[in-house]
Structure 1
């Protein structure tokens, strides 16, 4: 689907979705709770959506035609259970990779990924010598022109293993910073030897920046008897190198399961579910949606916020929150349900990543990640495919946070 078509649909969806989604045979609220009523049905639902969003679409980074299609799939799912659904469209400056990246040390070609948001190289590439650098936001290496001594590019090391794309902001840089290439940990000895021997290093990646590109969040709401609100966030976009089954498509599916499970009944508080765009490119969608709520004067209506990001790295829910009572509630539910794994409290508050733009709402926030299985090596990699998703982690999150939400609604 062309981006223009996505934008046109976005505008129509914003107007028509409340009517389309709200229509049921008996004229009441849409009720799709039976679709996720049992563990077996939830597993079928997970497998079906992972196939549509990851296997069939592949990587779906912000601003791509694949993301546009993913957004329409999620919109359709929300409309089955939520009476108000729309595509929250906006424009941004898109980064696009136009060539196969190259990193050659001497005569040895290394696997590499350019950092999205960073500048590209000239068509002929960049050549120079490698040196260690300091005070560059955790970037260990620079490539320097042999004649002028000018630094021409950055080299970074992967966090977990093999090479992955890292965004410009990971290192405190601005968009269009020097070309930045990521290298796997296994190739660190090659780089160290290149420094020692002053081996020539050649880098190449052609990129461009496209202003006024379109993208959008998918927003669905179940209005409650009070305007006080529980807001759920899960980013739908992936990096350009990965289908993102664990980061973060499975979390989006878990959020949709919750929307279905809670459908059909008017809740005490409004429930809002947002599949955000551009998390991997500087939280673009979350920033836009928070500003939208601020402009509407409804940011302060958000009483509770739950942000899901990679909840399938293991059975132990990694909980970031400054709210002792919410943490105790999560621990009590986990114990009462006898779930596998243990909620682990992180030292940070709940306003991490996509939740950060909502800090001024005053909401009681929980940011949920996970740990326990040694699959972080899949992070941002092409191998992050549906068959690598531990379905038990989705089931654990769903059962814990379905009960968590029901208790908040009954409080």
Structure 2
């Protein structure tokens, strides 16, 4: 294993996870990370573009909720608007039918039960938006409660490690909202004679973000795309989600510095997987409209390098010949484990266009999702740089197999 490569991986991990600060979209840390990634790719001889998009940064100064004179522990919904409401009546709803049948005029809406079993998709999110979610948002916008208090449950399968989880995370939704645990929310539901006072100190801040795309041209229009999202959720170091993926892109830049094959190489640090609008993903799709057929293979890296775990991969849109090639590239069964396909990552940008794709992560992916990601626990203590080095070298073998026409 390359000592030099492992050294660069350690350095990149420290810069992106420790020195740049939080990398949520639109933040200074996110912008600094994009500049660092672009500079590193250029230093390896890649032609680099940094297409820009408009976005929202967001400041949270905290929220205060009183039930009568009793203070309840509450959190501000990401991207919520501010409010200052003193001693207002409230109305509750636990189902969509109750929500549609009740009057919230001049009241705070307290949502619970079936309405709060999973996070509501942002109103303009195009990749997945169930009809029930759209009805719920449309009903709330029509009934115009003064604010929303959401009582959310513990749901590792849908909300990961976060408890309570924000019911709304949407800069296009304009009703102020907070969320709290079932334990705290139960106090509201059991005291209907009290009134609520709610103060939210928050601010939406117009900003910009960038994708970072490094390219080396091949002798044909076909290209291999390696991708990873560079953004994080606000308030998490984002080591496994997804500093490790971005560092793998930079390791590939090092390994492919002298590349000159038939296929072009594209290193895509896409910006927005953990952002309500998926702005970087939408921008990339728009820029590649009608050109996805040029992608011979897409490799997405997210959640990779967890200490004490084998690395994992899963395949999409792949035939038997391609499967044999992947098995050859990731052939060490102790180091690489094939797992069931998962659909929560940026590989789906390519999968939905019919492109052969592989998603690289860690063998305990579901544990990472349910216990670590989007929390302060997602630190570099969880990361093994040597595993990242092994993944990068396997990806280099993958490129070599394509050049040898083994796929």
Instruction: Give the match's secondary structure for 1:280.
Output: coil
Give the TM-score normalised by the residue count of structure 2: 0.74
* CA deviation after TM superposition for structure 1 residue 225, in Å: 1.3
Residue 303 (structure 2) aligned to one of 305, 310, 315: 310
1:138 maps onto 2:138 in alignment:
no
Measured at CA, do residues 227 and 277 of structure 1 come closer, stay the same or move farther in structure 2, by a change above 3 Å? same
Distance 1:267 1:406 in 2: 9
Measured at CA, do residues 366 and 161 of structure 1 come closer, stay the same or move farther in structure 2, by a change above 3 Å? closer
Residue 203 (structure 2) aligned to one of 199, 202, 208: 208
Per residue, is there more helix in 1 or in 2?
Answer: 1
Look up the match of 1:366.
Answer: 358
Contact 1:164-1:381 at 8 Å conserved across structures: no
* CA deviation after TM superposition for structure 1 residue 133, in Å: 3.6
Distance 1:253 1:277 in 2: 14
Give the TM-score normalised by the residue count of structure 1: 0.73
Residues 118-129 of structure 1 mapped to structure 2, 5 A cutoff: 119-124=80-85, 128=90
What do residues 133-158 of structure 1 show as CA deviations (whole Å, max 9, x unaligned)? 43567259x9x9xxx99872334345
1:176 maps onto 2:156 in alignment:
no
Q: Unaligned stretches of 5+ in structure 1?
A: 1-37
What do residues 270-314 of structure 1 show as CA deviations (whole Å, max 9, x unaligned)? 0000111122113211210221122xx643312211122222344
Look up the match of 2:330.
Answer: 334
Contact 2:117-2:152 at 8 Å conserved across structures: no
Look up the match of 1:99.
Answer: 61
Alignment coverage as a number of residue pairs: 353
Look up the match of 1:383.
Answer: 377
Residue 283 (structure 1) aligned to one of 273, 278, 300: 278
1:271 maps onto 2:265 in alignment:
yes
Distance 1:318 1:156 in 2: 33
* CA deviation after TM superposition for structure 1 residue 253, in Å: 0.2
Distance 1:201 1:402 in 2: 59
Contact 1:238-1:248 at 8 Å conserved across structures: yes
* CA deviation after TM superposition for structure 1 residue 54, in Å: 1.6
What do residues 197-227 of structure 1 show as CA deviations (whole Å, max 9, x unaligned)? 558776543333345x321111100111111
Contact 2:251-2:392 at 8 Å conserved across structures: yes
Look up the match of 2:34.
Answer: 71
* CA deviation after TM superposition for structure 1 residue 166, in Å: 5.2
Q: Unaligned stretches of 5+ in structure 2?
A: 93-109, 121-135
Instruction: Give the match's secondary structure for 2:83.
Output: coil
RMSD: 3.5
Measured at CA, do residues 310 and 131 of structure 1 come closer, stay the same or move farther in structure 2, by a change above 3 Å? same
Look up the match of 2:248.
Answer: 254
Instruction: Give the match's secondary structure for 2:244.
Output: helix
